[in-house]
Chain A
Amino acid sequence: MNKICTMAQAIESIPDGAMVAIGGNTLNRVPMEAVYQMARQNKRNLQLVKTAGAMDIDLLCLAGCVKSVDAGYVSYESQFSLCRYYRQAVEKGQVITYEHACYTVICALRAAAYGIPFMPVKGLGQTQLMESNPRLGHIQDPFGGPDIAVVQAIRPNFAILHVHYADQAGNAMICGPVYEDLLMVQASERVIITTEEIVPDNYFRRQDVKAQIPAFQVEAVVHAPKGARPTAMPFCYPVDEAEVRAFQGLGAAEQLSKYLEGRREAAR
């Protein structure tokens, strides 16, 4: 079955209010072209899920697409520093942060992947995350041990991942670090793959190393060369620093549509 479609078509399937897990980590292998498209389509009230996000979350906050963020860390790391649009949106009360330890995002996705409502998590000792994040709680150990912290399952409606290779049916392969992408596939209801390269049918059948993402779990495949830019794509391209700075310099939402138009031109 051919699942190849345009970016616009793939993103149109995401309704307002959807919970969306975004692949990659900080400025590494993030499906940015898909993120741009969500902003262009003016999505509203998205519930974003990620262990460590950066420009993806920042941009969608600037565009007014976001209702809540479940994450352990939101920042561009040391060089590009804080996500100011995310930060402003939270400080104005427009976006809710459910702050996690990165591991509690992982455990929440695991719970969804395992089909269970919550997951015990070790380690959450003395932390106010227990009060501030309603997805965290405690339960009694039915086997007589001490009480243990739990995290509620997070079952995203969509996972959007950018990969190196995919075939038209949706078998997909990531080279280099996989981060939480493969877990997101198992935890999410629907999976959108954007890919640097479309490989021929039966390509993976002839390889010693198989696709990590099976086609039957994938709903849409978008051919998006440079689809992670300006974030880094291992073995393909590094972070486009000028581009990240240009985005950080926009300052206000009014500038964003022009910026997104510029990205559309650049992609042609």
Chain B
Amino acid sequence: MIRPSDMMTVALARLLRDGETVFCGVSSHLPLVAALLAKKLHAPGLVLLNIPGGVDPEKPRLSRITSAGSELWDSAAAEMTLAQVFDLSMRGGLDVAFLSGVQMDNRGGVNASLIGDWRQPKVRLPGGAGSAVLIPTAKRAIFWRTKHDRRTFVQQVDFLTAKGNVSDVMTPLCHFVACQGELLLNSVHPYTSIEEVAENTAFPIRYKVLRKTTPISDAEVSALREVDPHDLRSIEF
């Protein structure tokens, strides 16, 4: 039985390339593990950037409580503050930013702000953190969400926190890619089906070629255990 948290982490890691600069922000354990996994497997030169400003920490012992703490700073060789990481993205130097939210539409619009009307929100959410400037400026903004249901993947977001260069969307069920401004289904994970994806998605599912996500290999399993022995990739589930 493949766990969705493992499948998502591995599939996200596969999207990262050697030498890329990759930013993970607050509340981002799953993509953080994905970036460390990619470094371990096929992207040793990947440069991890983060909120505490530790550039490319070496084998960090991640904290369950935060993905913005000094554990990402301690083993870094250089410092680049959050403000400088944002600056990097603004001038076109950030390859990948990982971001999440509670709603997404099929044009890649993200809501991480509120439910209802912004003048008097029914539910106040944490907010988009860096999304509003990173999604439009990072070369690739990769969206992950550990819930895949009709309240998350909606026809229209209640509030548009950010929109821009979303390139990929990873969920417990599938992987969407952005194609000319529209999210197309790229692959469904091995343990599910297009029917299940469609049932749980409020916008119409469209695709060019339908694939199954490549199952997790033995090498990926053992590397995953090594970089995340305490299973922090699963805490959002």
Which residue on B lies nearest to A99, using beta carbons?
Answer: B127
**CB atoms of A127 and B82 under 8 A apart:** no
Q: Does A179 contact B (CB under 8 A)?
A: yes
- Helix, strand, loop or mixed for chain A's interface? mixed
User: A residues within 8 A CB of B163?
Assistant: 125-127
Which residue on A lies nearest to B162, using beta carbons?
Answer: A127
Q: Does B221 contact A (CB under 8 A)?
A: no
CB contact list, A82-118 vs B, under 8 A: 82-83, 86-87, 90-91, 93, 97, 99-104, 106, 110
User: Which of B27, B83, B89, B124 is within 8 Å of A106, CB to CB?
Assistant: B83
**CB atoms of B73 and A234 under 8 A apart:** yes
In the assembled complex, the Cα of A116 lies from the Cα of B141 at a distance in Å of 32
User: B residues within 8 A CB of A101?
Assistant: 128-134, 162
Which residue on A lies nearest to B84, using beta carbons?
Answer: A106
Which residue on B lies nearest to A77, using beta carbons?
Answer: B27
How far in angstroms is the closest Cβ of chain A from B126? 4
User: B residues within 8 A CB of A28?
Assistant: 52, 66, 68-70
- Helix, strand, loop or mixed for chain B's interface? loop
**CB atoms of A178 and B81 under 8 A apart:** yes
**CB atoms of B70 and A232 under 8 A apart:** yes
How far in angstroms is the closest Cβ of chain A from B3? 17
Which residue on B lies nearest to A24, using beta carbons?
Answer: B68
**CB atoms of A79 and B124 under 8 A apart:** no
Q: Does B167 contact A (CB under 8 A)?
A: no
**CB atoms of A123 and B90 under 8 A apart:** yes
User: B residues within 8 A CB of A25?
Assistant: 26, 51-52, 68
| Chain A to chain B: the 10 pairs with minimum beta-carbon distance, closest first | A177-B52, A123-B133, A75-B126, A234-B70, A101-B132, A73-B129, A90-B124, A126-B163, A125-B136, A103-B86
